[in-house]
Structure 1
């Protein structure tokens, strides 16, 4: 089978690609080709794999050419992140809404020309939920909580969820949307996501560097390890329509944490000195964005697919240490 991964050069996209190539199959079919579409080149190990082809450039301009490929499945991960969408409204609309619509329309034209509808997993976000004066946000958001996003990023994700659902209803694609929790710990340097500090307060101290935390220690949020996130994306792809029970969007498993709890785990694994490298410096912009996100999430439908959250946050810290030193 041939798979397209948009945003395939990013952290999650590259990790998903490596996992699929190592498995060698998806949904019981042998993987022959993975197309990576991104604005930047993928890591060297992926580019060197003979099963990988790379399309570099703005996705919006590539959608029709990509849809002309003999595709069997799509993981649509490409997105402008939360902080970018708040800072540059046009960028968010173009990168998230316009590009997703263009990709879905290209896939629709394939189906209308007689091709089998492509199975597509859209990476949505827990940011589709938010506090609205008319719709109180529950302490724990579930699959059946009414989304009321309070950020541009969350709004874009919700709109795309509805597009995926409608194109699926019409038979143009076989779509499903996986709502990702904040993924931590990410390697590398901070990015434009408002949630970037959830990784930075662990990653930087483990490297002996000072980390700035822009929110108070009691800030609560659902998180997930990279490994659990990748397992979720694959499971959602492989699930039958009957297993999904009709609705196309579902929460992935969450480990519900406070910042203070994350630092407790850091200290338990790496010692007091590591924790003391975290400095609390309030940032009203970041805190305002985070305040519009859920404090905790559940994932009953994902559990029916066999998915479970990480055991505890200390285990996530240990995973990151093992991977960064291997």
Structure 2
């Protein structure tokens, strides 16, 4: 039996695969598997005999049906064109985010085994007037192409679950910060950049007001919750399979104060306020806090505070900031 991970060559996908491999036989409730298949446009960087890397287009039904079969115990659907890229290229985003999701669901349906199906969604499904804390049952009103397409994906996963074609779990992830590496096409990419770059001695632009509320999760918490989502008995979730996952509600100003406490005043001074209307129109339409009591009752967990998130990043990627620390202290 196998677990399939779309976007398996990406930042989140490789971490989920690594966590699954490390926990084989130790996560109560995980479906039994003896291999993992990564599907992406590039090869998965993990070197493990249990991982098979397949490159191809998930929006192509014939390609997906070659991989999803009766031996598929679970599917993680992480691949997507992100928020900024979706606004820039509607047709590509529609093909990947909608057609690709449906192709996977249809392949699972054709296999006839109702595999567990974890779909990563986003707080971008919300928009318009919102309360201070978004309840679990609030209707979606996306204000971006990415949000609209994620909302469509949520409904598809719920419907295919209702029909018994898959055993779905929709995880609305907070914005993940701090991500290592280079900025990506997400409108929220700055949420990592304003921490990551200054810790490396590099200037970073902040495109939104400092009082903008963000709903954040560390990579570690996000991955732990995605593994838990696969292990969770679907009957415990109930008929509506969409969950708001735990996160931290912080303002951008709070994030920069954490940066200063941990990286010092010179690191904080490297962040410039540079308002960008395109990014503000997307990010400032997102909610900043959620009622996650339902997810918490099901065993999902979050971070303690943003200082701990920044420390987690520094501990995992010491080479990303070690060379600059002497300069920052001068």
Normalised to the residue count of structure 1, the TM-score between the two structures is: 0.94
CA distance in structure 1 between the partners assigned to 2:236 and 2:88 by the alignment: 39
Alignment of 1:197-208 (within 5 A): 197-208=190-201
Match of 1:39 among 10, 28, 41: 41
Aligned match of 1:49 = 48
Q: CA deviation at 1:29?
A: 4.8
Name which of 189, 207, 210 aligns with 2:203: 210
- How far, CA to CA, are the matches of 2:31 and 2:118 in structure 1? 17
Say whether the 8 Å CA contact 1:121–1:176 is kept in structure 2.
yes
Aligned 8 A contact 1:120 1:175 in 2: yes
- Cα separation, 1, equivalents of 2:108 and 2:32: 22
Conserved 8 A contact 1:212-1:281 = yes
Q: Distance in 2 between matches of 1:243 and 1:151?
A: 32
Superposition deviation, residue 205 in structure 1: 0.5
Counterpart residue number, 1:77: 78
User: In structure 1, how many angstroms separate the alpha carbons of the residues matched to 2:120 and 2:138?
Assistant: 18
Deviation at 1:242, TM superposition (A): 2.9
Q: 1:120 aligned to 117, 120, 139, which one?
A: 117
Question: Unpaired segments of 5 or more residues in structure 1?
Answer: none
SS of 2:72's partner is coil
Structure 2 counterpart of 1:235: 228
Answer yes or no: is the 8 Å Cα contact 2:70–2:111 preserved in 1.
Answer: no
- Structure-1 residue corresponding to 2:143: 150
User: Which string of whole-angstrom CA distances, capped at 9 and with x for unpartnered residues, describes residues 175-214 of structure 1?
Assistant: 1100001000000010110000000000000111000111
- Provide, for residues 213-256 of structure 1, a one-character-per-residue CA deviation record: whole Å limited to 9, x for no partner: 11111111100000111111122222212321321000110100
CA distance in 1, matches of 2:109, 2:140: 27
1:313 is aligned to 2:317: no
Structure 1 residue 12 corresponds to structure 2 residue 12: yes
Cα offset for 1:290?
Answer: 0.9
Q: How many residues align?
A: 315
Deviation of 1:138 after TM superposition, in Å, equals 1.1
Alignment gaps of 5+ in structure 2: 320-330
Provide the secondary structure at the position in 1 that maps to 2:59.
Answer: helix
- What's the secondary structure of 1:256's corresponding residue? strand
Query: Where in structure 2 are the equivalents of 1:1-326 lying within 5 Å?
Result: 1-25=1-25, 26=27, 27-43=29-45, 46=46, 48-61=47-60, 62-68=63-69, 70-111=71-112, 116-131=113-128, 136-325=129-318
Does the Cα contact within 8 Å between 1:254 and 1:298 map onto a contact in 2? no
How far did 1:30 drift? 4.6
Q: 2:323 matched to which residue of 1?
A: none
Q: In structure 2, what is the Cα distance between the partners aligned to 1:143 and 1:97? A: 24
Q: How far off is 1:307 after superposition?
A: 2.2
Contact 1:142 1:300 in 2 (8 A): no
The whole-number CA distance in structure 1 between the counterparts of 2:308 and 2:253 is 16
Deviates more, 1:33-42 or 1:228-237: 228-237
Once residues 29 and 149 of structure 1 are traced to their aligned partners in structure 2, the CA distance between those partners, rounded to angstroms, is: 33
TM-score, structure 2 as length reference: 0.93
Structure 1 segments, 4+ long, off by >6 Å, are none
Does the C-alpha gap of structure 1 residues 170 and 29 become closer, same or farther in structure 2, counting only changes over 3 Å? closer
